[in-house]
Structure 1
Amino acid sequence: MLQNEIKECFIELGLFLEQFSTENFTKNDTVKNNSLFYNQMVDLIDLSQSHNGWFTKENVCFSLASWAKALTKENIEKWLSAYNFSNIKVKKVGLILAGNIPLVGFHDFLSVLITGHKALIKTSSNDQHLIQFLSKYLISLDQRFQDRITFVEGKLENFDAVIATGSNNTARYFEFYFKEKPSIIRKNRNSVAILTGKETPEDLTHLGEDIFKYFGLGCRNVSKIFIPKNYSFDSFFNAMFTYQDVIKYDKYANNYDYNKAVYLMSNYKLLDNGFLTLKEDENYASPISSVFYEHYENENEVAEKLQKDVDKIQCIVSKNPILKSIQFGQTQKPNLWDYADNIDTIAFLTTI
């Protein structure tokens, strides 16, 4: 397949996904093969929470909306314009995908196919249905994808390179098992926000989306905030109140009750608003329903700390330009060229 043909299929996929960008679906009869796939997609979204309790309809639709916005001709061409694809030799690339949020491994899937390679995909049991369904839609657009997309059960074998995502523990296994092959091995990462006390109510409300979207399960979710000495949390908690309905979801509420109980039994000092706890802690990875915080004297010392811990950080949120920070409310809206772990996937795939 020519790259232009692959691009056109993904652009069409974007139009298909756009129909499901909100919980009130909007059918577009001009979308290719809609008569075969639209109702099936509706059923799959409705069943997603039964496959994974964290995959609410709201969160699945948010993910689909994000990909619909990304998969436009303008975005794809802007993304790929920086690369030379003339010397690519088709390889089989193994993909070991995570499953913490809906379609979390789709960027790797897209990258492999759009560079002309074949994808051998081992999905997470937590997110195996959506990407398989979208693969079927792509194949319906062009049957040649049938030879380029293979889902693997059991051991991943007969591959030329691999992109694997997992925990720090599984990463050690991946590094050993795949040591003879070109690879990208992704580990645990977390995102942070740097507050100055001068944020507007709108800024802090947007920060709430960075914290609560997908219930905080993604590596792009803010799990820790840096605050100046004598910071008042009043404005912060007022803004977080927008997201109070999260506690109505049983799985989140159970985590909130459990983690709060553990903290209290350990005599940790907590700030609590009834659905979110704040704990002073130097670590980055806070549990569900909790955010860590750490005081600073000046922003330069925060920059030094984050630079030192760069391998632990996915996103930095700040109003000030610090270490390629992004604006509040943008962590779950990455562009195609915003690579996980700051590793250029396309550059890797063009050189294997």
Structure 2
Amino acid sequence: MTLETKKSVFVELGKFLSQFSEGNSTKKSDVLYNDIFFDDFEKLIHLSQSHNGWYTPEQVYFSVQSWAEALTEENINKWLSAYKIDENNENPKTVALILAGNIPLVGFHDFLSVLITGNKALVKTSSNDQHLLPFLAKYLIAVDENLKEKITFVEGKLENFDAVIATGSNNTSRYFEYYFKDKPSIIRKNRNSAAVLNGKETKEELEALGEDIFRYFGLGCRNVSKLFVPKGYSFDDFFQAVFKYQDVIQYEKYANNYDYNKAVFLMSNFKLIDNGFLTLKEDSSYASPISSVFYEYYENLEELEKRLQADQDQIQCIVGNDFVSHSIPFGKTQKPQLWDYADNVDTITFLLTTK
């Protein structure tokens, strides 16, 4: 398969995914193999919550739409223009992918990167997300059957591979680093995202920050779990802006976490700010539990910049209004571009340079 062929296959997948949105999925006549895949994918989206209680239809539709927006010819060309990729890759590597399952299709970018560079994907899905990616793989193979020999899903032990990309917790990463010590690898650990506020944010910006906090119930590494606020900051405007997300407490798993974590904090005599579906706790850590966001006061932006730089191995992304380096706009954390790499590690370069 030439590079252009591989690009076109993923553009077709983007067109397929673009048909699915909450309450308004629309079957389009110009999408390939809709007669085989459309109805089954719609059913799978609605069954996902039975496979993983966090995968509500709303969250799965959001993930699907995000990938539909990313997988356009323009985006793929822009992404790959920075690399020199062998058109035919006559010596493909088999890359083992150990995927996380915290949010729907969280491992799709690694899967895409392996295939677009002409390599073979040996995929071990998370037990929390075993159905969505295999379904999309079937669609890709229907579009171009040459991909059949490039994609393998395994349930047991990973064997016969040349490199590995593994995502897990800080604990599992130590196991990965030992187990794969003789293989070229990308090993991802826990990371969290933070927002830096200055007290001048508009209501619209704070509402968008709510999206960064509550999307996927806060389970993603790109979800904001930590706020840096100026000394004396009042959270009144913040709470008013995020009130639109109050329905999150209607989901049993989220509500159970809210009740449990709030009780633990209170029994420990921690001071909390609470609005009935979100607790704020002053804490220097980045990783807050579900239904809670940690906050910390700052007095000097220069000192905060130094702190964020020193902690960069704990931070996935920073949200703000450009008054700290490398910040992204409010409301954009869960819609990364193809060229926005997890942990800022360039997966394509890794795949192209690994021997």
Instruction: Give the SS at the match of 2:281.
Output: strand
- Provide the C-alpha distance between the structure 1 equivalents of 2:311 and 2:21, rounded to a whole number of angstroms: 36
What amino acid is aligned across from residue 16 of structure 2 in structure 1?
Answer: F
Contact 1:100 1:126 in 2 (8 A): yes
Q: Which runs of 4+ in 1 moved over 6 A?
A: none
Equivalent runs, 1:103-122 vs 2, <5 Å: 103-122=105-124
Aligned 1:256-335 pairs, distance under 5 A: 256-335=258-337
Residue aligned with 1:286, SS: coil
Which residue of the other structure, out of 175, 190, 197, is the alignment partner of 1:195?
Answer: 197
Which residue identity is paired with 1:255?
N
- Give the match's secondary structure for 2:295: strand
Quote how far apart the aligned CAs of 1:323 are: 2.5
SS at match of 1:350: helix
- Residue 39 of structure 1 aligns with which residue? 39
Task: In structure 2, give the amino acid aligned to 1:121.
Answer: V
Equivalent residue for 2:72?
Answer: 72
Aligned to 1:30: 30
Match of 1:86 in 2: 86
Deviation at 1:321, TM superposition (A): 4.2
1:14 and 1:337 mapped to 2: Cα distance?
16
Structure 2 gap segments, 5+ residues each = none
Unpaired runs of at least 5, structure 1: none
Residue 9 of structure 1 is matched in structure 2 by: 9
Q: Is the 8 A contact 2:86 2:117 kept in 1?
A: no
Per the normalisation by structure 1, the TM-score is: 0.99
What are the Cα deviations for residues 144-177 of structure 1, in whole angstroms up to 9, with x where unaligned? 1110000011111100000000000000010011
Tell me which moved more, 100-109 or 149-158: 149-158
Question: In the TM superposition, what is the alpha-carbon distance from 1:104 to its structure 2 partner?
Answer: 0.1
Root mean square deviation, CA, Å: 0.9
- For 1:241 and 1:7, how far apart are their aligned partners in 2? 42
**1:227: which partner in 2?**
229
Name the aligned partner's letter for residue 79 of structure 1: W
Amino acid at match of 1:61: Y
Q: If the length of structure 2 is used for normalisation, what is the TM-score?
A: 0.98
CA distance in 2, matches of 1:334, 1:86: 26
In the TM superposition, what is the alpha-carbon distance from 1:300 to its structure 2 partner?
1.4
- How far the C-alpha of 1:15 sits from its partner, in A, is 0.3
State the distance in 1 between where 2:37 and 2:183 align. Answer: 37
User: 1:73-222 to 2 correspondence within 5 Å?
Assistant: 73-86=73-86, 88=89, 89-222=91-224
Distance 1:2 1:150 in 2: 20
Q: Which residue of 339, 342, 352 maps to 1:340?
A: 342
What CA distance in whole angstroms lies between the structure 1 residues aligned with 2:160 and 2:125?
17
| Aligned-residue offset at 1:86 | 3.0
Distance 1:74 1:128 in 2: 30
User: Alpha-carbon deviations, 1:45-67, whole Å to 9, x = none?
Assistant: 11000000000000000000000
CA distance in 2, matches of 1:187, 1:323: 23
Could you list the per-position Cα deviations for residues 302-351 of structure 1 after superposition, in whole angstroms to 9, with x for gaps in the alignment?
A: 11111001100001001024231101000001000000000000000111
Give aligned pairs, total: 352
Instruction: Measure the CA separation in 2 of the matches of 1:321 and 1:275.
Output: 30
> SS at the partner of 1:139?
helix
1:252 maps to 2:246: no
* Distance (Å, rounded) in 1 between the aligned partners of 2:213 and 2:11: 30
Aligned equivalents of 2:302, 2:114: Cα separation in 1: 39
Distance 1:24 1:323, change over 3 A: same
Query: Is the 8 Å Cα contact of residues 23 and 61 (structure 1) preserved in structure 2?
Result: no
Structure 2: distance between partners of 1:328 and 1:140: 38
Tell me the percent identity: 70
**Structure 1 range deviating more: 111-120 or 293-302:** 293-302
Q: Which amino acid aligns with 2:283?
A: D
